[in-house]
Amino acid sequence: MHAAVVVFPGSNCDRDLAVAFQAVGAKVTMVWHKDSTLPGDVDIVGIPGGFSFGDYLRCGAIAANSPICRSVADHAERGGYVLGVCNGFQVLTETGLLPGVLLRNAQLKYICQTVGLKVETSQSVFTEGYNAGDVIDIPIAHHDGNYFADEATIAQLQDEDRIAFSYMDNPNGARADIAGILSENRRVLGMMPHPERAADAAHGGTDGQALFRALAGALVTA
């Protein structure tokens, strides 16, 4: 598996994400936001957490219009895999690769804590290492993680089994307790919680490991 991790000014989880990919045997290339092309043999693009461009205008909005994001969109449209975590999820909604938007947390507070997530579907390369219904502990760290989409979009996500993870105890006001969603072809995942921060015993939790292991397993044989 060859993973590219995009680095924006203000990204701060890029190296954590790279380490999580490397830990499951992936080759990782860091890609700068001003690069206009991805390495040719990339299987998956990781959009990391952080505060790209200082969250100016709207979270992820300026990053979504950077040169590399055109290539990320092309990669996704060709059927490539993309994982966006936290700010990466915000970037993916701003590019239109995923529906909806992440609003300010309903309580207006930045929340940094480990939360219980319910795995809603195992029908994706990201979640096939879990069973639907599993509850896993993954950290969140965000100010703008309150998922919003209109009711028709929420219903569509539910009907198409595209909600990947939901909160057991909704911390931020997200509609339908949504913590992470899949694209229509199930190859793009955006999620607010940080699986790369629960991928090593030294992190204090390893519930995120199964996501990276499943990816490595699926994309090696792809």
Nearest approach, Cβ of 144 to another protein (angstroms)? 10
73 lies in the site for another protein, by CB under 8 A: no
State which of residues 4, 68, 119, 149 lies at the interface with another protein (CB under 8 A).
149
Residues 83-142 that bind another protein (CB under 8 A): 93-94, 99-101, 103-108
Widest pairwise Cα distance in the chain: 44
Structure tokens at 48: 């990391």
Nearer to another protein, 101 or 111 (CB): 101
Active site residue 59: no
User: Which residues fall within 8 angstroms of residue 76, CB to CB, at 6 or more apart?
Assistant: 45, 82, 97, 183, 187, 188
Q: What is the DSSP string of 187-216?
A: -EEEESS-GGGSSBGGGTB-TTHHHHHHHH
Of 33, 75, 142, 194, the active-site residue reads 194
Cβ pair 219, 129 in contact under 8 A: no
| Segment lying near another protein (by CB under 8 A), choices 17-25, 60-68, 184-192, 204-212 | 60-68
Instruction: Pick from 15, 27, 58, 213 the residue near another protein by CB under 8 A.
Output: 58
Residue 33 designated active-site: no
- Using alpha carbons, select from 117, 119, 81 the residue that is nearest to residue 97: 81
203 counts as catalytic: no
The reply on whether position 62 binds another protein by CB under 8 A is yes
Q: Tell me if 61 contacts another protein by CB under 8 A.
A: yes
8 A C-beta contact, residue 179 and residue 191: yes
Question: Binding residues for another protein, how many (CB under 8 A)?
Answer: 21
Helix/strand/coil (H/E/C) assignment for every residue in 69-106:
HHHHHHHHHCCCEEEEECHHHHHHHHHCCCCCEEECCC
Q: Which stretch binds another protein (CB under 8 A): 15-23, 146-154, 179-187, 198-206?
A: 146-154
Structure tokens at 31: 């890609």
* Active-site residue, selected from the candidate residues 13, 59, 69, 86: 86
| Cα distance between residue 150 and residue 152, in whole Å | 6
> What is the closest distance, in whole angstroms, from the C-beta atom of residue 69 to another protein in the complex?
12
Catalytic residues: 86, 194, 196
Residues at the interface with another protein (CB under 8 A): 57-58, 61-62, 65, 93-94, 99-101, 103-108, 146, 148-150, 173
